[in-house]
Structure 1
């Protein structure tokens, strides 16, 4: 049986910020440190580009699976990411082309962007689902349920989440196009760094917009 989670009123602003920092650090390690640092570390050790690209992906897949088992809950976003990593890895094993992995990242972001946009037509737009991890990290399961319950009786809340979903979906889709161009025009060893830097630039812009939007419209917890 899971231990009871702290309610919204039981967590101080400092505790919320600390919980959010832990969540963001974990995501930073999974999404940036392992894939980028792992690639260049392996290349510096003389590993060929194909293996240097595929090894970090397999490690990330293992971490995602581990957290799902440990928390006894499969996040939709984590499952989606794991599925695409596995599918991309299998495709790479078949082709043996390192650029296939780099293009894989492009279609991962492209499919994810289209999935976000497609979710606008459902009762669970991407931002409603994706917010669970951050909201739960900050205010616990009970706090998340209170936050999510606004969907049923607050039309402005629904509209705000759909707008945010649309912005993120558009950013991911456009980013995928840029990644394809980079994957086929740059030298292999420069692609991971350049691709990561351009994604961080896009991400920074979207995050600034996101934070300003949720603060202005009372979505911040």
Structure 2
């Protein structure tokens, strides 16, 4: 039992690792450098770009492929660095955040067009829950080895599309607000808009993508369990 729990925890950590390294570390380091250590926005962005830059370089040189998520975060940071040179207009500085966020939204939508939905990396750990049987069910659904595979992949794309569209709409609203709403109001209203967008993404993305996908993974897992039991019984009979 102890071994199972440890193995499950390790599997969950392994599933979350790419998302933590590519997204959480750069984001957390940016706020640490800027707010915790008192660095300028430019310096904080520059230093927080180190990890995604290394990850992107490692993927290209060693794995012979591009790490899409790390590359996107790197592009966002570079765009932020370039926009940081522009100063003196508080409304432009408010709009800057929208411009940077829109890069993420567009990247998500482009990843869907290319057949590699970017939000899947964050969705998978929540659906497989670190369970080896559920992970095997996920792989069958993704590879086309299940009758529900086509619907599963369609839901996977829908999940990323929802988040891409919601984030893009949030960028537009904040950009318009930056030039139409009083600056003092927009400073706090921008956070409210972002929180609302995230809530919409969770609800709609769950209804159209994550919810049905979780049900399919559970169904596929249940279908595989009787087969596994019969196989184990057959092996015992042969051994006897």
- Normalised by the length of structure 2, the TM-score is 0.59
Indicate how the Cα distance of structure 1 residues 121 and 65 shifts in structure 2: closer, same or farther if over 3 A, else same: closer
Choose 1 or 2 for highest CA Rg: 2
Q: Which residue of 1 aligns with 2:47?
A: 59
User: What is aligned with 1:92?
Assistant: 84
Is contact 2:8-2:131 (8 Å) kept? no
2:26 matches 1:30: yes
Structure 1 CA distance for aligned equivalents of residues 102 and 214 of structure 2: 28
8 Å contact kept, 2:166–2:197: yes
In the TM superposition, what is the alpha-carbon distance from 1:24 to its structure 2 partner? 5.8
Residue 147 (str. 1) matches residue 143 (str. 2): no
Q: Which of 64, 67, 92 does residue 75 from structure 1 map onto?
A: 67
Q: Of 157, 164, 169, which residue of structure 1 is paired with 2:159?
A: 164
In the other structure, the counterpart of 1:212 is 211
- Could you tell me how far 1:150 is from its partner in structure 2? 2.4
Q: 1:154-193 to 2 correspondence within 5 Å?
A: 154-181=149-176, 183-184=178-179, 185=181, 187=183, 191=187
Who is 2:100 aligned against?
108
Please give the secondary structure, in 1, of the residue aligned with 2:115: coil
Q: How many residues align?
A: 199
| RMSD of equivalent CA atoms | 4.4
CA deviation after TM superposition for structure 1 residue 86, in Å: 1.2
2:198 corresponds in structure 1 to: 203
**Structure 1 residues 133 and 58: alpha-carbon distance in aligned structure 2, compared to 1, 3 A threshold:** farther
The answer to which structure, 1 or 2, has the higher relative contact order (CA under 8 A, 6+ apart) is 1
> What CA distance in whole angstroms lies between the structure 1 residues aligned with 2:174 and 2:140?
34
Distance 1:89 1:97, change over 3 A: farther
Separation in 2, partners of 1:133, 1:118: 20
Alignment gaps of 5+ in structure 1: 1-8, 46-50
Distance 1:179 1:121 in 2: 26
- For the structure 1 residues 121 and 107, does the alpha-carbon distance in structure 2 shift closer, same or farther, using more than 3 Å as the test? same
